Amino acid sequence: MRVEIEILGSGTSSGIPTVGCDCWVCRSDNPRNKRLRASALFRVGTGEAETRLLVDVTPDVRMQALRANLSSVHGVLITHTHADHCHGLDDLRALYWGGGRQPLPIRAYPEAMASLRRAFAYIFDDEYDYKGVARVSPGVFEHEPFVVAGVTVTPVPVVHGNMRVAGFRVGDVAYITDCNEVPAPSMEKLRGTRLLVLDALRRAPHPTHMSLPAALEVARRVGVERVFFTHINHDLEHDSVNRELPPWAQLGYDRLRAAVEADGRVTVTEPGPNGQPHAVAW
Ligand SMILES: [Zn+2]
Ligand SMILES: [Zn+2]
Ligand SMILES: [Zn+2]
């Protein structure tokens, strides 16, 4: 089964460029230094049978869906409820309409779901009975793998300061954002992962995010074939940092797509000048 991950946004909570900042990365013309808030899309299977799972619903989700030519998803996975990861929830409307107005399964840790229900009561509470909202079908997970829209997802808990964040593994592809530590049992859950998208905020250590050296070390220990870093701030200029990094471990960027193909090859595609994806060699 082919599993692809598309990076919908590779930026930290402020997005890059950051409002009011005139550093060289925020002023850069390089499109790879323009980073919407961190989010990803799993595409599982191909053609008509493709199942799309959206990971996090950022304040940028409208632009992210338009750029990715995305009109519907089959399920939504929430890593945690910091604003940069869920404050686009209202904009699920369009993806719900595009999906034929079938209630959209949304999955999160129990504490994250409770927080979403508080913040977006009008979406989750039937009493509001307002037509202009996405209908969702909420559910929670803990430690065991769960099935959403027919796809088996393994939750990979990671440490983000004083809270836990869910990473997600589908097949041999995993997405882990917002963490300063991947605990040993979670390293075990990642064993055999071949393609990883992983938090790497900046070069220097940070209390709630992994630094670039720490993230590189985690990817090495997991033994992945390829890792792309995400949730990047304006300390990291795309091209110059990538020249320092090994070819198998690079900064990700918005609209990058990478997959473990049905035949086992790891492939990478990126948007071409005409917007159509094309394969890149590495
Ligand atoms: Zn974040
Ligand atoms: Zn800046
Ligand atoms: Zn966070």
Per-residue tens of pLDDT for the chain, all 282 residues:
999 999 999 999 999 999 999 999 999 999 999 999 999 999 999 998 999 999 999 999 999 999 999 999 999 999 999 999 999 999 999 999 999 989 999 999 999 999 999 999 999 998 887 888 999 999 999 999 999 999 999 999 999 999 999 999 999 999 999 999 999 999 999 999 999 999 999 999 999 999 999 999 999 999 999 999 999 999 999 999 999 999 999 999 999 999 999 999 999 998 766 556 667 654
Residue pair 32/68 in contact (Cβ under 8 Å)? The answer is: no
The pTM of this model reads 0.96
CA of 200 to the centre of ligand 3 (A): 12
Q: Which domains does the chain have, with CATH numbers?
A: 3-280 (3.60.15.10)
> What residues contact 261, with CB distance under 8 A and at least 6 apart?
2, 267
What is the per-residue pLDDT for 270?
82
Q: In what order do the strands lie in the sheet with 226-230?
A: 146-148, 151-160, 163-170, 173-176, 195-199, 226-230, 249-251
CA pair distance 47, 10, nearest whole angstrom:
26
CA of 242 to the centre of ligand 1 (A): 22
CA of 15 to the centre of ligand 3 (A): 13
Neighbours of 209 (CB within 10 A): 23
What is the per-residue pLDDT for 278?
65
CA pair distance 183, 168, nearest whole angstrom:
14
CA pair distance 76, 98, nearest whole angstrom:
14
Closest CA to 252 of 280, 273, 275: 280
CA of 255 to the centre of ligand 2 (A): 21
CA of 130 to the centre of ligand 1 (A): 30
Starting from the CA of residue 232, give the closest ligand: 1
CA of 39 to the centre of ligand 1 (A): 9
CA pair distance 128, 151, nearest whole angstrom:
31
